[in-house]
Each structure stands twice: as structure tokens, then as C-alpha cells.
Amino acid sequence: MSLDFDMGKRAADLRRELRALVAEQIPEHYLGAFTDDPADLETAQRFCRTLAEHHLLCLAWPEEFGGGGASVWEQTVVREEMWAHHEPRGAQYMGVNWVGPIIMRHGTAEQQRTHLPPIAAGEVIWCQGFSEPEAGSDLASLRTTARRDGDSWLVSGQKIWTSYATMAQWCFLLARTSKVGSDAAPKKQQGLTIFLVRMDDPAITVRPIPCMMGPHHLNEVFFDDLRVTDADVLGTVDDGWSIVGDVMAFERVGIARYARCERLLAAAPSVLGERWDTLPDELRGRWIRMLTHCRRARLLAYRVVAQQSSGRVSPGDAAAYRIAVTTLDQDSAEVLMDLAAEVEHSDPKAAWFLGEVEDHWRYSQASTVSSGSIEMQRILLSRSLLKGGGR
């Protein structure tokens, strides 16, 4: 029995179109938007505008929201090609993959008119105000509060590990609006509310956190009596946790890291050339095992995509995919680093491969922590299996 990943002619044509655009507009040694060179961010922003002009940025969005009305499978092709080619959309994938769809699902008509067109045009960057110094994996324990002040709210607190906060125009912010133990919040998962807030407000301070992944990835964000209104509330006051579940499901399947792993692994034999045939059997065996794991992660992703097409994602299946793809990230990075050590540096292909592999390794070190730690994913998967009677 063989595994067939063929999505049909439309998908194949779409892949060719995307690869042609990448080859035409993205520099050969591009390593993403989040480097010390501001030109890399501008490359990503320019490329997003090009995708939008070709109706490819938000391909699966409904046409009334600026999308292409395509299937989630066609959007999956876009997702895979972008991640395989070092995510030339930069930070836009956040708005495309989950901020936009969540606003479609839970936002008011006014919020949809305000926020969806700029995302679909590739003109706005979002960041996520979730994690805090004492509320990461246990997100419901967050301490950032929004307290009533007349017909407004005043938000005070701190967020941490906030990617893109230095460049974002908007923040998808989770804050506590009712104390735990009150009638509105008998449990800590209750009494939480999501606000859509502008990042240029003087009540917001952003402090970058240096890390080996480069600038923009990690930041602290402080809110000092940030004034927001009921118009900025997404969904219902005190019921933000129900939206968080949707966010996590969309976010965790939206990153097709397996596509980049597979592209780098597949490139190794041609980069090493004749040296490939003299590699230790153990190393080539690990290489084969990683390619197999790429296909496993892809299948798990496709399972969740199929659920997305029907309108509801199982938390257990999303967690299973996330576990598979984050462990693949780290395990494949180790194999690729060992392969990179065998590369002849004078080969013209070497510079591209070595740069990609080093960047992949550095990024992979955080993969089992970001977007929910792998321990939390295992808990979610276990709960899902127990609830389903061991399915």
C-alpha cells in the first residue's frame, strides 16, 4: 500500500505558481523576515502584497472578506509552499491562519469590516497577547486585568514571549475581566475576555528579549491603564476562553513545519554529491527515518485540515499533529546538522544549505515550547483519548 499526497491538477498548478513567485521575488539566501536586516522584513511585506494582488494570500477566505473562496486544501498548498521556502509571508501567517478566521467566526460586523480587509491585503501585522511570566502553559492563570471605568475598560499587566510585538499594529489580547471565585468566574477559565487593541497606544510599552532566533521573535509587552471600549471586545465579556480553544486549534495546524523539514532533507543527497554514498549507514538510516516522520506529520496535518473543512477541529487531533511536527522539527534538525558537517564548503550549493540548516536548528529549539508546550499537548491528547473511550 502506498501513500498518495496528490491533491489534483489545481493544487499542482498552484504550487508551480507559488514557486515561480518565490523564485522571482525572494532572494536566494533569504532566511526569513526576522533578521537584523530591515530589508528582509520589507521583502516579506512586499511579497505579501504581491500574494494579495494574485488573490493568494487569503486564498480560502470567503470572497466577501477579501479572500479567494477556495478550499482549505488549496490554502494548505499555500501554507506548505510558504513554510518550505522559509515563510516569505513573514508575520502575516498569523493574521491569515487564525486572527482573520477567528474574527470571521466571533467578531461583530464592524470588527469584520475594520480588520479583515487589511489582513487580506497584506497590510497589517498582528501579535498575540497571551502568555505571561507566571501564565504560559497554564494560560488561564494570567494576571493581566481589564477593569471597568465608566463605559470603558482599563487594561494593566504584562505579557511575555510576544512575537512580532515590535512591528505589529494590532494585538489579540486576553485579559481577566472578573475575579476567580466570583459569580461570573467560578473557575479560572472563566472571567476572561479578548480585546482587539492598537499597539501604537502610549499606554503600551514593548521591550525586546534577545534570543538566538534573532530579533522580533520574543518581546515583553506592558500595559499601563490602556483604555479600551466594548467595541474592542471580541465575542462576549467573560467568555474569552471559548475563543481561545478555537485560536489554538487554528494556530497549531497553521504552521506546516514538516514542509521545510522535508525540503531540506530531500536536498541533502544532491548537496553532498559523491560524499553521500560514503556516509555511515547509521546517519543515512536516521535520514530515512526523518523523511518517514515528515510524512507522518503531513498525514496528521491533513486529518485536521479535513476537520477544518467541516467547520470543527478536534483539540486531540490538533494536539497530536503539534506533538508530531515539533518533535520532527528537533529530531530532523539534529540529523541535518550532522549532514551539514559532511558538506564540502566550496560547493556552490553549500552556502544555501548550511544557512538554512543552521537557521532551522536554532528555530527548532523553541518548537516544543511555543504555541503551547509539548507537555500540554500530551495532556490535551490524553484527555481527548480518555473522553473518546480510547479511540
SS3 labels along the chain: CCCCCCCCHHHHHHHHHHHHHHHHHCCCCCCCCCCCCHHHHHHHHHHHHHHHHCCCCCCCCCHHHCCCCCCHHHHHHHHHHHHHCCCCCCCHHHHHHHHHHHHHHHCCHHHHHHHHHHHHCCCCCEEEECCECCECCCHHHCCCEEEEECCEEEEEEEEECCCCCCCCCEEEEEEECCCCCECCECCCCCCEEEEEEECCCCCEEEEECCCCCCCCCCEEEEEEEEEEEHHHEECCCCEHHHHHHHHHHHHHHCCCHHHHHHHHHHHHHHHHHHHHHHCCHHHHHHHHHHHHHHHHHHHHHHHHHHHHHCCCCCHHHHHHHHHHHHHHHHHHHHHHHHHHCCCCCCCCCHHHHHHHHHHHHHHHCCCCCCCCCHHHHHHHHHHHHHHCCCC
Instruction: From first to last of the 391 residues of the chain, give the pLDDT tens digit.
Output: 345 566 778 888 999 999 999 999 999 888 888 888 889 999 999 999 999 999 999 998 999 998 999 988 898 999 999 999 989 999 888 899 899 999 999 999 999 999 999 999 999 999 999 999 988 778 899 999 999 999 999 999 999 999 999 999 999 999 999 999 888 888 999 999 999 999 999 999 999 998 877 777 889 999 999 999 999 999 999 999 999 988 876 765 667 899 999 999 999 999 999 999 999 999 999 999 999 999 999 999 998 888 877 767 777 888 888 899 999 999 999 999 999 999 987 777 788 899 999 999 998 887 777 666 778 788 888 888 888 744 4
Pick the CATH number of 128-240 from 3.10.20.600, 1.10.3720.10, 2.40.110.10, 3.30.450.20: 2.40.110.10
* Correct CATH for 256-387 of 3.30.70.3450, 3.40.50.1000, 3.40.50.300, 1.20.140.10: 1.20.140.10
In the prediction, which pLDDT does 391 show? 46
Give the right CATH number for 9-124 from 1.10.1510.10, 1.10.260.40, 3.40.50.720, 1.10.540.10: 1.10.540.10
Grid coordinates belonging to 100: 482573520
Alpha-carbon torsion, ordered 308, 312, 318, 320, to 10 deg: -110
Report pLDDT for 306.
83
Q: Model's pTM, two decimal places?
A: 0.87
Q: What was the pLDDT predicted at 2?
A: 45
The per-residue pLDDT for 378 is: 87
Sequence spans of domains, the chain: 9-124, 128-240, 256-387
Q: What's the pLDDT score for residue 390?
A: 45
The three cell numbers locating residue 281: 549507514
Tell me what pLDDT residue 253 has: 64
Q: State how far the alpha carbon of 21 is from the alpha carbons of 48, 51, 73, in Å.
A: 11, 8, 20
pLDDT of residue 252: 59
